[in-house]
Structure 1
C-alpha cells in the first residue's frame, strides 16, 4: 500500500523522485522506514531504530547499500526475546548516523548481546535494576561516542567490530561474532515458546527464506543465461596450479610469528598456526602476498575451496590456484571451481592431487565481443554469496526447529 501511494506522488521532493528514492528492493515495510529515517537525518544526526532480528539476517544487499551511502552504522544490539510485551519476535537496536562527507572513515561498530533489560520479561515486568545488560551496553556506547572505550574490551556481552564486517553483503546481526562456546557461557539459548508462537515464527522464517531463495534463483538464472568461454585450469596463460609446502605443527610452535598457515580444515578461518616469516622463507615456503584461490586436497574437507586475500602460507595439504589474467575475478573462479569439484565427484575422494585439479574446467562469462565480462563475473559471485547465505539460514532453521523448547 505504501509503495503504491509513493508511486502516485508527482514531482520531486527534496530534489529526488520518491519512487526512485524508495525503490531499494527492500523486503517489507521495515526497509521503507529505514530508508525514510536515513534520509530524514541531518549530517551527524543519529537514529536508534528497533528492528526485527530477521531484517538484519536478510541477504538482499541493496537496502543496506543505500543505507550505507547515507549513514554509518554505529551499533547493532541484540535484545532478548519478549523485550516487548506484545510480541515474542526477536528484535534488535540498530544505531545509525548520517555521514558528514562521503570520504569520512567509518567507525568501528559496537556489537552487543543484551540478556536482560532491567525488568523481568514476563507479563509482570518487575524491575531488576541489578540485572540490566542493556544499560551496560548503553553506557559503553555513550563512552565510545565521547572518545572512551572502557568497558568493551573486557566485556563478555560486547565487541567492537570493524565496519568492513557490516557491508551490504553481510548479515547485520551480531551473534556471529561470538563462538558457540561463548554463547553457551552467556546462556544465550532459545527460551521456551508456546506452540502458537513456534508456528508463527516458523512460518515467518520459512516465508523470508523462501523469498530470498526465489530471488536468488531468478537473479542467477538471469545472470548465467549468457555466453561463456570454457577454460582449463591447465592453461598456463590464465592459471598456475601448485601445491603448498609440508610443515609440521611442532615446528610452527617453535617458530611463532605473524604469518598464518592454512591447511585442510573445514572452515576458512581455521589455521595450523602462525609462524615467523624469516623461518618460513628459509624453509622454502611460499609466502602468499597476492590474492589466491585454494583447494583442500586431503582429509574430510577435501575439495573445499576458499579465496585467500591476506598474507599467508599454505601447507602441502592445500592446492593453490593463481589467477593470472586481471579480467578473471577470483571469487567467480572459486565459485566455478566449487562447481567443477562437485561435478567431478572429488568431494568423495581421500586425496586431490594438483594434476587432478589441472583437469578441471571453468566457464567464464564473455561479452558480445568475446572478451571476458568481469562485471558479470562479479555480479554472479555476489548473487551466489547471497544464495549460500539463504541456504545456510535454511540449515539453521532446521536446527532451530529441532532444538526449540516448545511449551
Structure 2
C-alpha cells in the first residue's frame, strides 16, 4: 500500500469536489490505486500499472478526470503546454476518462480526451476557468463539461431545460375525456406520472420499477395488467424510496387510474398506455425548468370550471420572485425561513434555488442543512392534502441535481422533504392551530383570504384557552388571523414579506390589527399590486414588508417605502402573456436601494410611482386607512395609468368580480354572526323626556329661515332635517348651544335620524335636541343612547308622506331600555359594547351597499364585434 495514501488518510477520507472524491497524489501508481479500491481493478493496458498520476477525481471507482500539474516554467509556451497534454492524454484514454486537466495553478487547459482537443465554451472560444479543487463551483463546471463533450463535440452545451406544460395539457385532455375529473385532479394525476418518469430518467427507479421497463410489458401483456403492475409494484416502490412523513404524505398521491384500494380501475388501461407513450415520445426529463410548475398550475386554472380554493395558493411566479428578491439580503447560514400557507412551496423553494448546493449537501452519510425552510398547509379536508404532496414533488425537482448524484440517499431526501413541508391535519385551523412565538427569521407568504368558513375558525379558537389568548386582536377574515400569527411567530429583528388584500388596510374594524402591527413591528414597505394580479380574483392586494422590533418600547423613526404598480410584467387576462411594462421589477430595485439609505433616499428618488412616507402617516391613520393610493392625487394617478377607464370587462372577469363581492359580503356576515353571540343582560326602562326622563328636550328655533341665514353668514352650523353633510343646512355668525348632546330630525324623508353633536350650533324647527340630565352623566353612555335611539325613533313616525312628524311631545313619551348590572346600577361596560355593535353593523351595511354598487359601474363585454 502506498505510504502517501496511508499517511494522508486518503483511502477513508479523501478530499471532496462536490460529491466526488479528489486525490491529489503524484507518488502513487495506478496499480496501487487499484489495490486500494480507489479505481476499478481492471486491466487498463500495457505499462499503465506503473504510471503515476498527479491527481484524479473519482465517483464510485469511475474516473471522472485526471489532472496534470506543471510548474509555471514548464507551462509558459504553447510548445510546453502541448507537451504536457501529449504526455498524459494516452494514459487518460486507457483509464477510460473523458476529461483531462493540465494546470500550473495560474492557468488551466481543459482537454476532451475523446478527441484530443481543447474544450470550448458555449461561444466556441477556448474554455478559460482556473482549476482549484476548493472552488465550490467546480463540481457544476466539471459536471456540465462531462455531460456536454463526446467524440464529436468539444463544446460545452447549455443545459436544455424541459418545460412539459404543453405535454400536461395533452395529458389533461386524455385523462379528462375518460374520467370527467376536475382539472385539479387531472393535475395531480399528471404530476404523479411525471414523477414516475422523472425518477426513471434519473436512474433512481431501476429494473422492473423503471418507466421504460413498464412500457416493454405492453408487448406481451394486456393493458389492464400493465396498469395493475404499476399499482402493485411501482407505486409502493416510489413510496419505499420516498417514505411518507408524520402527516402521511409523500411525493405522490392516489391517481385517477388507481383506486384507494390500490387497484387498477377497469377501463382505464388504454388511456394509461396512451399517457405513458406521450411521456416516452417527449424524451428524457433530466433537466426541468423550475418555472414549469407555476406554468402548469396556470394552465390547469384556465381549464378549471370551479376555482374552489385555488386562489389560496396560486401566486404568480413574477410576484414570488419579486418578493424573494426584496428579501434576498436576509439569506445566510443558520436562518429559518417559513411560509405558513405554503401551497406548492414556491416561496421558500424559489428563495433558495440558487444556493441549494451551498446550504444542502451530503456529509457523513446524511444531508447537511445549513439553513432550514419550513412550509405548512391545512389538510383537515382530504382534498386539501394534495397541495403538500405537490410541494414535496416540487422540492424533488428543485433538488434534482443533488438527488441525481446521490441516488442511494432517497430516504434521507424524503425525510428532508417531510421536515420541510408539513400538512396540518389536527384541526380545521391548520397552521393557526399552533401558537408559535419568536421562531422564524424570515416569513414569505401569501396567506389565504377566501372567507368562506372563516367564522368556523374563530369558533374553534374560542374552544382553546391558549389560542384564545394568542389571537387577541379579533381581526376580520382569515388573513387577519394569519397576520397576527406571522407577527408573533417572527423572531425579534425577523422580517416578513406578506401579500395581503386591501381589507386589512382600509377596514375600520381592523384598526386594532393595524395598531398591533405598528406596536410590534417596523413597517418597511407597502407596495400596491394592480387589480387582477392574481388569476382567480380581481381583489386588490398589497405587499407588506415588516421587521419585528427587538423591544416593544422601540419607536419607528425610519420612513416607509411605498410604490404603486400598474403592471407586473405579464398581461392580467386569461392568457398571462409576458409584457414589457414591469413596475414591480422597478419597485424591487428601488426598495433594495432604499434599504441601504432610508433617511436620504427620497432626495434621489425620481420615480413618480414611489413615495417615501413618514411613519406618522400610518400612526395618524390607524383608525381609518393605510391605502397608499390616497397619497397620490387623481392627476398623478391618471398620469401613471393607475386610474383605468371604465371599459367593458370579459364575462370571465365579471364572474370573478361577483365571486370577490360574495367573498367580501361573507366577511361581513362573519362579523354579524359574531355579534349575534353577544350575551343578554338585565335592563331597566326610562322615558326619553319629562320630569323623570333622561333628557331635557328642546325644539329648534323658527327664526332660522333661509333669509335669516343668508343675512348672517358665519362659521357656526345650523342643523335641520337634512341628513347629508351631517345634517348641516347652513353656517351663521351666532349659536344657541355649546355642549355635547343628541339631535334628531323631526320630519322629512329620514325622520327620526339621530346625530351626536359636540360644540357650538343652532337648529331649525325641523330638528330637536336631547340634553342628558346631570344625574345621568357618567352613568349612561351618549354613544349607547345614540345607537338605541337610531334604532327605535324611526319606528315612531306619525302621519303619511310629507306629514310624517316626530315632535317634542311624542318623543318625550318614548321609553328606552338601559342595561343594568347585578346590583341594579347602570352598566356602562355593556352600554359601550352594545353601542360598538351598532356602529359596526352600520359600517357593515354601508360596506355591503358599496360592494353591490360595484356591479352598477361594470360594463360586460358579451362578445359582440
Q: Please, what TM-score do these two structures have when normalized by structure 1?
A: 0.70
Q: Is the 8 A contact 1:306 1:334 kept in 2?
A: yes
Q: 1:271 aligns with which of 728, 732, 741?
A: 728
Task: Tell me the distance in 1 between the aligned counterparts of 2:714 and 2:602.
Answer: 28
Task: Tell me the distance in 2 between the aligned counterparts of 1:7 and 1:112.
Answer: 33
Q: 2:791 aligns with which of 328, 339, 342?
A: 339
Task: Tell me the distance in 1 between the aligned counterparts of 2:828 and 2:673.
Answer: 21
Report the CA distance between 1:28 and its aligned residue.
4.5
After superposition, the Cα gap between the structure-2 partners of 1:171 and 1:293, relative to the gap in structure 1 and judged at 3 Å, is farther
2:857 aligned with 1:403, yes or no?
yes
Q: 1:296 aligns with which of 745, 757, 781?
A: 745
Q: Which residue does 2:113 correspond to in 1? A: none
Q: Which residue does 1:213 correspond to in 2? A: 669
Report the CA distance between 1:373 and its aligned residue.
0.9
2:678 aligned with 1:226, yes or no?
no
Q: Which has the higher contact order (CA 8 A, sep 6+)?
A: 1
Q: Is the 8 A contact 1:119 1:126 kept in 2?
A: yes
Task: Tell me the distance in 2 between the aligned counterparts of 1:104 and 1:248.
Answer: 57
Q: Is the 8 A contact 2:532 2:538 kept in 1?
A: yes
Q: Is the 8 A contact 1:80 1:116 kept in 2?
A: yes
Q: Which residue does 1:90 correspond to in 2? A: 540
Report the CA distance between 1:298 and its aligned residue.
3.7
Task: Tell me the distance in 2 between the aligned counterparts of 1:226 and 1:55.
Answer: 32
Task: Tell me the distance in 1 between the aligned counterparts of 2:707 and 2:550.
Answer: 51
Paired residues for 1:27-38 under 5 Å: 27-38=476-487
Paired residues for 1:99-248 under 5 Å: 114=564, 116=566, 122=572, 123-124=576-577, 126-127=579-580, 146=599, 163=619, 165-167=621-623, 170=624, 173=627, 187=643, 192-220=648-676, 222-223=678-679, 225-235=680-690, 238-245=694-701, 246-248=703-705
Q: Is the 8 A contact 2:437 2:489 kept in 1?
A: no
Task: Tell me the distance in 2 between the aligned counterparts of 1:75 and 1:254.
Answer: 53
Structure that is richer in helix per residue: 2
Q: Is the 8 A contact 2:527 2:565 kept in 1?
A: no
Computing the radius of gyration from Cα coordinates, the structure with the larger value is 2
Task: Tell me the distance in 2 between the aligned counterparts of 1:148 and 1:354.
Answer: 62
Q: Is the 8 A contact 1:111 1:161 kept in 2?
A: no
Task: Tell me the distance in 1 between the aligned counterparts of 2:565 and 2:678.
Answer: 44
Deviates more, 1:33-42 or 1:291-300: 33-42
Q: Is the 8 A contact 1:116 1:133 kept in 2?
A: no
Task: Tell me the distance in 1 between the aligned counterparts of 2:632 and 2:711.
Answer: 29
Q: Deviations over 1:78-122 (max 9, x none)?
A: 653134577533223557686898799999x99999583587854
Q: Is the 8 A contact 2:744 2:754 kept in 1?
A: yes
Q: Deviations over 1:225-251 (max 9, x none)?
A: 222111111145531222344435666
Task: Tell me the distance in 1 between the aligned counterparts of 2:696 and 2:632.
Answer: 37
After superposition, the Cα gap between the structure-2 partners of 1:191 and 1:68, relative to the gap in structure 1 and judged at 3 Å, is farther
Q: Deviations over 1:123-161 (max 9, x none)?
A: 45644599x9989x99xx99xx859999xxxx9x99997
Task: Tell me the distance in 1 between the aligned counterparts of 2:578 and 2:827.
Answer: 59
After superposition, the Cα gap between the structure-2 partners of 1:47 and 1:105, relative to the gap in structure 1 and judged at 3 Å, is same
Q: Is the 8 A contact 1:220 1:384 kept in 2?
A: no
Report the CA distance between 1:208 and its aligned residue.
3.7
Report the CA distance between 1:13 and its aligned residue.
4.0
1:404 partner SS: coil
Task: Tell me the distance in 2 between the aligned counterparts of 1:179 and 1:247.
Answer: 39
Q: Is the 8 A contact 1:115 1:188 kept in 2?
A: no
Q: Deviations over 1:39-65 (max 9, x none)?
A: 467999997753112444556546446
2:825 aligned with 1:376, yes or no?
no
Report the CA distance between 1:336 and its aligned residue.
0.9
Task: Tell me the distance in 1 between the aligned counterparts of 2:568 and 2:708.
Answer: 51
Deviates more, 1:113-122 or 1:373-382: 113-122
2:318 aligned with 1:318, yes or no?
no
Report the CA distance between 1:333 and its aligned residue.
0.6
Q: Which residue does 2:296 correspond to in 1? A: none
Q: Which residue does 1:385 correspond to in 2? A: 839
Report the CA distance between 1:367 and its aligned residue.
0.9
Task: Tell me the distance in 2 between the aligned counterparts of 1:267 and 1:329.
Answer: 25
After superposition, the Cα gap between the structure-2 partners of 1:6 and 1:75, relative to the gap in structure 1 and judged at 3 Å, is closer
Report the CA distance between 1:293 and its aligned residue.
1.6
Q: Deviations over 1:18-55 (max 9, x none)?
A: 77324544455422342244446799999775311244
Report the CA distance between 1:392 and its aligned residue.
1.9
2:818 aligned with 1:364, yes or no?
yes
1:288 partner SS: strand
After superposition, the Cα gap between the structure-2 partners of 1:21 and 1:248, relative to the gap in structure 1 and judged at 3 Å, is same
Task: Structure 2 unaligned segments of length 5 or more: list them.
Answer: 1-377, 379-423, 440-465
1:89 partner SS: coil
2:736 aligned with 1:286, yes or no?
yes
Task: Tell me the distance in 2 between the aligned counterparts of 1:178 and 1:314.
Answer: 38
Q: Deviations over 1:156-209 (max 9, x none)?
A: x99997856532xx56557899999x9999856666443333333323432442
Report the CA distance between 1:270 and its aligned residue.
5.9
Task: Tell me the distance in 2 between the aligned counterparts of 1:184 and 1:320.
Answer: 46
Q: Is the 8 A contact 1:70 1:99 kept in 2?
A: yes
After superposition, the Cα gap between the structure-2 partners of 1:207 and 1:83, relative to the gap in structure 1 and judged at 3 Å, is closer
Task: Tell me the distance in 1 between the aligned counterparts of 2:808 and 2:493.
Answer: 54
Report the CA distance between 1:398 and its aligned residue.
2.4
Task: Structure 1 unaligned segments of length 5 or more: list them.
Answer: none
Task: Tell me the distance in 2 between the aligned counterparts of 1:40 and 1:211.
Answer: 25
Q: Deviations over 1:272-308 (max 9, x none)?
A: 3444xxx41xxxx32433x322212243333221222
Report the CA distance between 1:355 and its aligned residue.
2.4
CA RMSD of aligned residues (A): 5.1
After superposition, the Cα gap between the structure-2 partners of 1:38 and 1:362, relative to the gap in structure 1 and judged at 3 Å, is same
